[in-house]
A = this chain, B = another copy of it.
Amino acid sequence: MTEQGTSRRRFFTGAAGLGVAAGVGVGVGVATGYGIRAATEANAASTDPGSTGAASTDPDAQANAIVPFYGARQAGIVTPQQERLMFAAFDVSTTDVEELKRMLGRWAAMAARMTQGKQVSDSPTKPAQPPFDTGEAMDLGAHSLTITVGFGPSLFDDRFGLADRMPPELTAFGTIPGDAVMRAELSDGDLCVQACADDPQVVFHAIRNLARAARGTATLRWSQLGFGRASSTGSQQVTPRNLMGFKDGTRNVRADDTATLDAHVWVGANGASLAPEHEWMRGGSYLVARKIRMEIESWDTDPLEDQEKIFARFKDTGAPLTGGDEFTAPDYAKLGDNGQPVIDIDAHIRLASPEQNNGLTILRRGYNYTDGQDPATGKLAAGLFFIAYQRDPQTQFKVLQTRLGKSDLLNEYIAHIGGGLWGCPPGVSAPGDWFGKSLFT
């Protein structure tokens, strides 16, 4: 083993050991089994300088495709959509709120490192210890990894003393149209983590290591992998297509449209007032997810003209049936030769459009998925893992889905089989801060 000395020493070189310190608020700092120091008050002062996020402004780091982790808002919401998703929902298994807080601190410290393409810990692994990091992303870059954390309505029951901190926006919807077949084992969860990156192994590594660091505190409830279009064929980026073959996202909110984001996505933007006990969500956003199974074998037998009637767009170009190109606004009033609206009264884009919903707007961030063969039916199990961000799901997604669920022509070919609602707090501002810290203090 002597020949390995150099590289192993290099690997084992690093700041700090296990951080153990008395602290305010969290009680004690954390010596986890993983060598990961929680980014809590207890040890903010001793945090690895490599985790400060400063590297993200360095040109070398940019070339390595790093999305800054620390900031006023969580990354992964308006961040340009990466190509791969792993989404995970967790249930908290402890009833000790201090344990939960320490885990959220560990997650923040790990996320700060992983989003820079680093292993979860810079502490040396002793040979007799399990490695701190599972290792499969060791040679990969950050690939624009973002890790976004949210809190579900169930977290605000009587376990953690948070009941009066739950904003009314986070009230569970109950069963709204289209949601009747949602499965408990694919739905909800006390916490959610959305990991997005341009590499599937990087997102898997992130969720796997967060789940590992949660052991004893929270357990994985369900998870979902997703993919988008990898790239366009030419230099011009084109709108990705869903697995029904239609362009999806043509009219989505743009990341640089600050006014629209403030009006529809960010909680408490434009100085909106919040109850003091709900201030912890200011600068955050509410995440709604739906696992939307497509009946692709039925869809594939549907005539082209019917498919286009359902979406009210041409399949090849994405242009609305009322003419123009992909980005032309649909003319919902236009009548055809038969005196009927060219865009059917129940067409998907009509029912979902801001124009037909008093300006209702959400930020979509969906991924295609396939689970391979459905063992029950023998069919390909595939569809859209829909994610949307908004400032008030009660007046946004819930209203929109109630309308779509009742009469969308698309309903014949889709089923909502899972999903949930989470409040994603504002960003982790700096080492020492952590996901939702102000909720717990």
A358 cross-chain contacts in B, Cβ below 8 A: none
**Per-position binary interface string of chain A over residues 203-234, scored 1 when its CB falls under 8 Å from any chain B CB and 0 otherwise:** 01001100110000001111111011111110
Taking a contact as CB atoms closer than 8 A, the residue among B4, B135, B375 that contacts A241 in the complex is B135
A242 lies within 8 A of chain B by Cβ: yes
Q: Which of A1, A136, A246, A296: most chain B CB closer than 10 A?
A: A136
Taking a contact as CB atoms closer than 8 A, the residue among B185, B324, B380 that contacts A3 in the complex is B324
A143 cross-chain contacts in B, Cβ below 8 A: 230
Q: Is the CB of B305 within 8 A of A127?
A: yes
Q: Is the CB of A304 within 8 A of B229?
A: no
In the A-B complex, the 6 residue pairs with the smallest Cβ-Cβ separation, listed nearest first, are A135-B245, A3-B323, A127-B305, A199-B230, A141-B233, A200-B227
Interface residues, chain A, CB within 8 Å of chain B? 1-4, 7-8, 11, 64, 117, 125-131, 133-141, 143, 185, 198-202, 204, 207-208, 211-212, 219-225, 227-233, 238, 241-246, 296-297, 300-305, 307-308, 314-317, 319, 321, 323-324, 342, 368, 370-373, 375, 378-380, 382
A135 cross-chain contacts in B, Cβ below 8 A: 241, 244-246, 315-316
Q: Is the CB of A208 within 8 A of B7?
A: no
Q: In the complex the two chains form, what is the Cα distance from A223 to B375 in whole Å?
A: 10
| Copies of this chain | 2
Taking a contact as CB atoms closer than 8 A, the residue among B11, B224, B242 that contacts A372 in the complex is B224
- What distance in Å separates the Cβ of A138 from its nearest Cβ neighbour in chain B? 6
Q: Is the CB of B370 within 8 A of A233?
A: no
Q: A127-B305, A139-B238, A241-B135 are in contact. Are A201 and B227 (CB under 8 A)?
A: yes
Closest B-chain residue to A239, C-beta based? B139
A223 cross-chain contacts in B, Cβ below 8 A: 372-373, 380
Q: Is the CB of A130 within 8 A of B3?
A: no
Taking a contact as CB atoms closer than 8 A, the residue among B7, B139, B368 that contacts A232 in the complex is B139
A368 cross-chain contacts in B, Cβ below 8 A: 136, 201, 204
Q: In the complex the two chains form, what is the Cα distance from A4 to B225 in whole Å?
A: 36
- What distance in Å separates the Cβ of A61 from its nearest Cβ neighbour in chain B? 12
Q: Is the CB of A373 within 8 A of B319?
A: no
Q: Is the CB of B245 within 8 A of A138?
A: yes
Q: Which of A4, A207, A238: most chain B CB closer than 10 A?
A: A4
- What distance in Å separates the Cβ of A199 from its nearest Cβ neighbour in chain B? 4
Q: Is the CB of B7 within 8 A of A317?
A: yes
- What distance in Å separates the Cβ of A267 from its nearest Cβ neighbour in chain B? 30
Q: A199-B231, A208-B296 are in contact. Are A245 and B131 (CB under 8 A)?
A: yes
Not counting A130-B302, A136-B242, A139-B233, a sample of 13 additional A-B residue pairs whose C-beta atoms are within 8 angstroms of each other reads A3-B324, A4-B319, A126-B304, A128-B304, A131-B315, A136-B368, A139-B232, A141-B233, A199-B231, A201-B368, A204-B243, A204-B370, A208-B382
Q: Which of A302, A314, A382: most chain B CB closer than 10 A?
A: A314
Q: A212-B300, A301-B130, A314-B8 are in contact. Are A370 and B323 (CB under 8 A)?
A: no
Q: A296-B208, A323-B4, A373-B222 are in contact. Are A241 and B117 (CB under 8 A)?
A: no
Q: In the complex the two chains form, what is the Cα distance from A244 to B134 in whole Å?
A: 7
A228 cross-chain contacts in B, Cβ below 8 A: 201
A204 cross-chain contacts in B, Cβ below 8 A: 243, 368, 370, 382
Q: Is the CB of A321 within 8 A of B136?
A: no
- What distance in Å separates the Cβ of A194 from its nearest Cβ neighbour in chain B? 14
Q: In the complex the two chains form, what is the Cα distance from A233 to B296 in whole Å?
A: 37
Q: A11-B316, A233-B140 are in contact. Are A134 and B245 (CB under 8 A)?
A: yes
Q: Is the CB of A319 within 8 A of B3?
A: yes
Q: Is the CB of B300 within 8 A of A241?
A: no
Closest B-chain residue to A368, C-beta based? B201
Q: Is the CB of B230 within 8 A of A64?
A: no
Q: In the complex the two chains form, what is the Cα distance from A230 to B134 in whole Å?
A: 18
A4 cross-chain contacts in B, Cβ below 8 A: 314, 317, 319, 321, 323
10 A-B residue pairs with Cβ-Cβ distance under 8 Å, sorted by A, are A4-B314, A134-B245, A135-B315, A138-B241, A138-B245, A198-B230, A199-B230, A200-B200, A208-B296, A225-B372
Closest B-chain residue to A198, C-beta based? B230
Q: A233-B140, A316-B138 are in contact. Are A185 and B375 (CB under 8 A)?
A: yes
Q: Which of A139, A296, A314, A315: most chain B CB closer than 10 A?
A: A139
